[in-house]
Amino acid sequence: MNTPTTPSPFVDAAHRATVQDALRKAEQLKVLVVGDVMVDAYLLGQVERISPEAPVPILRTEKREQRPGGAANVALNLVALGAQCALIGTIGHDSEGENLLGLLESAGIDASGLVALDSRPTTSKTRVMSGGQHLLRVDRETTDDLSASDSAAVLERINTLLDRGGFHALVLEDYDKGVLTPAVIEGGIAAARRHGIPVAVDPKLRHFNSYCGVDLFKPNLLELNEGLGLRARGDVPAEIDRALDALIDKLAPAATLLTLSEHGVRFRSAAKDATSGHWPAHARDIVDVSGAGDTVIAVATVLLAQGVSLNLVAATANMAGGLVCEKPGVVPVDPAALHQEIERGSAALQSA
């Protein structure tokens, strides 16, 4: 991969000004997020001994937390950046769903698009943690695709909200939990096209090939390989480039932002004057990578909706995703910390 000739695009004052101005103007944006919402729950405490009943640690619970997760965490990141956000997905008729509604209301997220279903629970992931370390995760979920009637109900919410106007972008956030069926994906993209707003996608495997012709496609390397049936390695530039060529041939995204974990991000435009490049990962003390992809797609969408260049979209989203990895659990990006990182500009990057 061709690494940048400078350690960061933000050593250029014009680039810093462009991105910081766009981040400040996030408060003028309204974004619709559609996808798999969930509750990220935490049992936090300390392990001081092993159980006499079995060779397992005993957690002395000190705190319980619940946070919006999945597509709801994307919405939380957008609101943290200053944007207005409406959320569409499904919840169950259960306490987790009620708690999630309360969390979203407290965060200032419009949850009127959530559809409560009898057929499935609210997706929840409970992480058992001691001293910042994961001991266990317990999931409660139904991952089958929504029925035709439930898909129609979700699509009706999309059309209703977009028809009200005022939205600047649509995010499709897929965790393979069944909300983003082909009917919802294709109908949502068509609705965004009618309203002239860009579509940003964070895909998963099951319906990878349904996301045709979107404005920004943001897979990670595992998703790209699984979706295309490839084995590209993140540290082999030629393999990554061939995989991106295959993706563009198959799904024709206007722009692709490929996250490569410790290898940073690779970006590619499909335009005639194609922009292509790579930003290495920033050197950080990684605590928890959970939710980093949610932050990346949220930051990228805010900049995409304002016409910021793909090069700067990729660099800023890469930086923001790394920042949240320094915190335990699933947390939204801290805008003040992001601005500070941009100001530093010439912070050392890992070699790619």
Establish if 195 belongs to a structural domain: yes
CB 210 within 8 A of CB 253: no
Q: Which residue has the higher pLDDT, 347 or 70?
A: 70
The CATH number assigned to the domain holding 172 equals 3.40.1190.20
Establish if 339 belongs to a structural domain: yes
* Catalytic site positions: 294
Domain, as residue range, for 224? 9-37+67-117+143-344
- The pLDDT of residue 349 is above 90: no
Establish if 157 belongs to a structural domain: yes
Establish if 352 belongs to a structural domain: no
pLDDT of amino acid 3:
41
The DSSP line for 173-229 is: E--SSSSS-HHHHHHHHHHHHHHT--EEEE--STTGGG--S-SEE--BHHHHHHHHT
- Average pLDDT value for the chain: 91
Establish if 101 belongs to a structural domain: yes
- The pLDDT of residue 102 is above 50: yes
- pTM for the whole thing? 0.92
Establish if 108 belongs to a structural domain: yes
Establish if 295 belongs to a structural domain: yes
pLDDT band at residue 131, thresholds of 50, 70 and 90? confident
192-242 per-position pLDDT tens digit: 999 999 999 999 999 999 999 999 999 999 999 999 999 999 989 999 999
Establish if 181 belongs to a structural domain: yes
The count of domains in the chain is: 1
Mean pLDDT of 332-345: 87
